[in-house]
Amino acid sequence: MANSKIQLRLPEDPKHAAMRQASESGISMNLFVATAVAARVGARAEAQLLFTVRGSRTTPARAKALLQGLGTPGAARDDDRLDAADDPASPAHYSGNSI
């Protein structure tokens, strides 16, 4: 496998964090970045394969039927509303409904 050079521009904060983590791991910044890129590329390829395989086992009609069967018909719960309080201690988050 041939190596290629690239110029990478990072904001200062992520650059310093990456340098610190590479140093703590005892590896070069080059290896740290190469490993991070390889992990991201591999994860994306794995997800694409998973969804391709899963998608090949169904049809749009079956997927639509499945989606229509999810949830409970009726009004949205208080904690499902966009204007619900963000405070986890608020009564909306403890309405007695379970997920």
Residue 95 is encoded by which pair of tokens? 């309405």
pLDDT at 81 over 80: no
Residue 39 lies in a domain: yes
DSSP assigned state of 79? G
- Tally of CB atoms within 10 A around 27: 13
- What's the average model confidence in pLDDT over 72-81? 72
pLDDT value of residue 15: 95
Query: Six-digit token pair at 56?
Result: 């090949």
CA 29 – CA 1 distance, rounded (Å): 20
Structure-token pair, residue 53 = 């395989």
> In total, how many domains does the chain have?
1
In this prediction the pTM is 0.53
| Band (26; pLDDT cuts 50, 70, 90) | very high
**For residue 23, what are the domain limits?**
10-66
Taking Cα atoms as reference points, which of 32, 26, 25, 34 lies closest to residue 3? 34
Residues of the chain above pLDDT 70, percent: 83
